[in-house]
Structure 1
Amino acid sequence: MHDILTTAWFGLIGLMLAIYVVTDGFDLGVGILSLLTRQESERDQIFASIGHVWDANETWLVVLGGAMFGAFPLAYAMLMEQLYVPIMALVACLIMRGAAIEFRHAARRKRGWDIVFGIGSLGCAACQGIVLGKVITGLAPGALATGFTLLCAVGVVAGYALLGATYLVKKAHGKLVAAARRHAVTALVATVAAAFVLTAGTLFSSEIGHGRWMQPGVLALLAPLALLAALAAAYVLYALHIGASHGPFRGAIGLFLASFAGLAVSLFPNVVPGRLTLAQAASDSATMAFMLCGIALIFPIMVGYNLYQYYVFRGRVGLH
């Protein structure tokens, strides 16, 4: 029973993390792209495109922290101890984004708050990439692990920029759409290149490559996921080429989900490869069962609210 609950919580946390990465990923991405947008009218479109959804997207991060603390307290303690600086920097960047969005509405000169928002978005993406790289390398020290971690940060920034650019393709108007299409192609190339290098690097700098990938049946699971990711990337390029509005964003989501599924397969049954397994990190069965009852009530409400807000605010942003 304990093993079933442990696996269930690994799957639930993975699902919530995937939802967070996709939903908050695109609004972090548009924030990154705002740094490259010179016209204030176009930045107005950028803020309008996420104004009604960004705060709900970040709710998933709060739930993730609570779920990790309750279900895998040893993992929570280890990661917070080892990754205190990037996690606190992530929190600071999230505060910067929220303050910029709120104060921008009342500011006469908006450019300063726009820069704060863009830097906060870039910092959030980079910090998440650093955390990811540290986890994949098993919190290992050394120049090789550090280089791998920095490349992870670059890959996450590029991936979020891809989500943001394809989101603007379906939400914005005029020249901003054309610019978003160009940014999407650049971000896609950078994301795929980073993915190739990181995959090769995992073989040499991570316990995942040394152990997990060599286990029987693992590569058989990863191969179709890699194929799905490649097809999704190709579809993004195709959809951009034919001028589709919604196709590029859907393809980018598919690319992220396939890649995330591959990461989950690679990590299982570890939380930190070579350092901590799920069985070692898990709470007792009573705690996980109690939490499962609570998340069964909360999860449908959160998903329903997210879907409802995206339905209500579907379509392109209004021009004033």
Structure 2
Amino acid sequence: MTRVYTSISEAAEKLERSVVTIGNFDGMHRGHQAIFGQVVEQAARLGATSVAMTFEPHPVAFFRPEAAPAKLSVPPAKYGLMGRYGVDAVVALRFDEALASMSPEAFIKEVLVEALGAVEVVVGEDFRFGHRRAGTTELLREEGARYGLKVVVPKLVEVGGAVVSSTRVRGLVKAGELAEVRELLGRPHRLTGEVVHGEARGRALGFPTANLEVVEGMALPPDGVYASRLAKGGDERGWRAITNIGTRPTFGGGARTVETFVLEEGVSDELDLYGEQVMLALYMRVREEKRFESPQALVAQIKSDVAQVRGFFDEGIDGEG
């Protein structure tokens, strides 16, 4: 099981020799996965621990909260994914004033070398670190050489002729292009949140839904109906489901909600997830949200949507035919 350390001092007590990668790793996309793979491979070769160092909140959110990028993943789900991709340990640091003001040279000496026992660091081409982002891969190489610290900078991963990045993934989520998102992530985009009480309109219509209060700031696709999977706890797959994201215009509109109806026979009526932390995987957009002239017309459309989503799953949209 992947170990998670939440401070430099805690990590220093446990780690003696490591191969480290550093970044926010919000997207956990194919580019990040390639870096994790190299870290794991090098650590095995050197008899070291493979380590991913990451930060909360995102540095942009610390310096300019109003410009914080939408979140593609949140802890602890992010740390779980790191373990899934083979990393032995995660050093999850609080990004605060002390960390932000540390010079690149001090970060290399005190954090990487002395605390983590790093013998090799693997970072992306665009990696920046230290006070005012003054640290570059060139500086990391120069300073690292003083301590016998090898620095590896793999080429950026491309898919479809363009570099895979969290920014690109966010743009695709915002546009509702979830098939392309799956291609860049190697998995569907997942929302994390808590199931809360709603207005029970879905149950009255014959489609009892789980109402998800999504973690604040997560990247959401456009309003509409989606083929999805709802899972709780450590369940990787969960239940096939249909999800509506929107303001429910047929009933006069209101706050934006995320409501999910589980398609497994007999599960929806018995499912009690109130207060549970769940994950909602979004596979594809079925249609946009729209206003219907009556609840009866809405029910007819929902039945059609459900049949369509069942068909998508039967065709293997989630990798299972």
TM range (shorter): under 0.3
Greater C-alpha radius of gyration? 2
Structure with more of its chain in strand, by fraction: 2
- The structure carrying a bigger helix percent of its residues is 1
TM-score in terms of structure 1 length: 0.25
